[in-house]
Structures are given as structure tokens and as C-alpha cells.
């Protein structure tokens, strides 16, 4: 059973760079046809797709965040990561990592982590 | 950006009811639409993808339909476990979610 677990800082200050890691267990991140992605949800608000990465390394980003987002895969650690630069209070949200295990699209996810709350405050 | 508008925002219903949630896209997305269920404090769970394909393990009382700009999620007979918030998601051009429909006990 594939499981995903996010890890990150919890609390950050404005202008810092957010770094989150998703550790994959029960499966290989380098398996073909899998997309891995990040989605966030500000408290009480709507879900927002941040970006996706294919097992081969091809990436897709939300245009509204693209200039601040980096998504990468570390096959040696079976992890993928998100970096979001120049954070502000508007980036306060629960961040989810997710994946899909069948070819349903780069931005649709059938497995999700439990989510991690990141708060940006001075 | 493609905007997704769900209606209603809140839907009071009772166990056993048949309920329908509507999602409208600001431009045609063919059938590139998914539906998720989310319970408080939990991650979303995929119910439907490609507008009408039922995700494995999801009860058959859930169904999706539509194409182009108008889509529906129907629950044929509400069960106690179904009271949650439902989101539609387009993935035709990048991805955007609707604002959610909270299904609550009448």
C-alpha cells in the first residue's frame, strides 16, 4: 500500500524559502507512469494545485506560482520535494503531497499524504 | 485561467436522499473533470475522474456526468458517511478547483 508523508518547517517568516519533502513508502518513486504533485489549501479555503512532476523529471507548474516554485525528485531517497520562494502570509496553508498510480492525468491524484500546515508569520 | 463554479455552496440533505451537485467551467474542458470528497482535517479523496469514471473502491451510489462546461456529481442514496465537502477539479488547462459544496445534515 503506497503511503505519502509530508515533512516541513511548520512556521516560517516572510521572504524565506519554504522547503517541503514528501517521503514515499510502499512503492518506488521511479516507477513509470506515476505523477507526483503538490496541492495546498489555506485554512477554510479552496484547494490549489501547485505543480506536478513525472517520474522522468518533467514538471508542470501553476502559472500563478510558477516563478516561485521548484519541484524535484530524489530517487535515491524515494522522495520528492517542493521549494516555494519569497513566502508571504498568503502562502499559509496545509500543503499536501499526492500521486496517481494510473494514467489519469498529470494533475489528478488518487493517493494523498495527510498534509502539513505551514504558517508564515513575522 | 479556467474558473470553476460549484452550486450550491451548502446542501442540506437527509440520509436516503438523492442529491446532485453542479460544477460549471468558464470555458470548455471536454471531460477533463474530477470530483473529490473531503472530510474535516483530512486529505481529499478522489471519487470520479474524466467526468464519469468511478475511482476504484468508491461506492456505486456516486456517479458523475457532463462534458464541455457543465458537470454533475450525483449521490443516489445518501449514507451517513457521505456528509462532507465536495470539490470539482478541471485538468484541461493546468488545474483549478471549484469552491466546494458542503453537504450537511438537514
pLDDT in tens, A89-102: 999 999 999 998 88
Mutate which of A46, A53, A106 to disrupt the B interface (most B C-beta within 10 Å)?
A46
CA B13 to chain CA centroid, nearest Å: 16
What are the CA-CA distances from residue B39 to residues A14, A102, B45, B65 (Å)? 30, 24, 9, 23
Interatomic CA distance for residues B33 and B53, integer angstroms: 10
Per-residue model confidence (pLDDT) at position A108:
93
- Mean pLDDT confidence for A100-113: 90
pLDDT digits (tens, 9 = 90+) for A17-69: 999 999 999 988 887 678 999 999 999 999 999 999 988 888 999 999 978 99
Distance from B24 to chain A by nearest Cα, in Å?
16
- Output phi, psi for A38, to 5 deg: -125, 135
CA distance B93 to chain A (A): 10
Helices (H) and strands (E) in chain B, counts: 0, 11
What is the per-residue pLDDT for A32?
65
Q: Give the model's pLDDT for residue B102.
A: 98
- Average pLDDT of B59-84? 98
When pLDDT is averaged across residues B39-49 and rounded to a whole number, the result is 97
A26 burial level (CB within 10 Å; 0-12, 13-18, 19+):
exposed
Average pLDDT for B61-79 = 98
Q: How far is CA B62 from the centre of its chain?
A: 9
A-chain residue closest to B100, CA distance = A46
Q: Could you please report the per-residue DSSP string of B37-82? A: EE-TTS--EEEEETTTEEPTT--TTEEEEEETTEEEEEESS--GGG
pLDDT at B96 over 90: yes
- Residues in A touching B98 (Cβ below 8 Å): 46
Burial of residue A117 (CB within 10 Å: 0-12, 13-18, 19+) is: middle
For A44-73, what is the HEC assignment? CCCCEEEEEEECCCCEEECCCCHHHEEEEE
Interface test with A, best of B55, B95, B96, B99 (most A CBs within 10 A): B95
Amino acid at each position: 500500500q503506497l503511503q505519502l508523508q509530508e515533512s516541513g518547517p511548520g512556521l516560517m517568516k516572510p521572504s524565506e524559502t519554504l522547503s517541503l519533502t514528501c517521503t514515499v513508502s510502499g512503492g518506488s518513486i521511479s516507477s513509470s507512469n506515476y505523477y507526483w504533485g503538490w496541492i495546498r489549501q489555506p485554512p477554510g479555503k479552496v484547494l490549489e494545485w501547485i505543480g506536478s512532476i513525472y517520474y522522468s523529471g518533467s514538471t508542470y507548474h501553476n502559472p500563478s506560482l510558477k516563478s516561485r516554485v521548484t519541484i524535484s525528485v530524489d530517487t535515491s531517497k524515494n522522495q520528492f520535494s517542493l521549494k516555494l520562494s519569497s513566502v508571504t502570509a498568503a502562502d499559509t496553508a496545509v500543503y499536501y503531497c499526492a500521486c496517481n498510480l494510473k494514467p489519469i492525468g498529470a494533475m489528478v491524484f488518487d493517493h494523498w499524504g495527510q498534509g502539513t500546515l505551514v504558517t508564515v508569520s513575522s | 485561467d479556467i474558473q470553476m463554479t460549484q452550486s450550491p455552496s451548502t446542501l442540506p440533505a437527509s440520509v436516503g436522499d438523492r442529491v446532485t451537485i453542479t460544477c460549471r467551467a468558464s470555458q470548455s474542458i471536454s471531460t477533463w473533470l474530477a470530483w473529490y470528497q473531503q472530510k474535516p482535517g483530512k486529505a481529499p479523496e478522489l471519487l470520479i475522474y474524466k467526468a464519469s469514471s468511478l475511482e476504484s473502491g468508491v461506492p456505486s451510489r456516486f456517479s458523475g456526468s457532463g462534458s464541455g462546461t457543465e458537470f454533475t456529481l450525483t449521490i443516489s442514496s445518501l449514507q451517513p458517511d457521505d456528509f462532507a465537502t465536495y470539490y470539482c477539479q478541471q485538468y484541461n488547462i493546468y488545474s483549478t478547483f471549484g469552491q466546494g459544496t458542503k453537504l450537511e445534515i438537514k
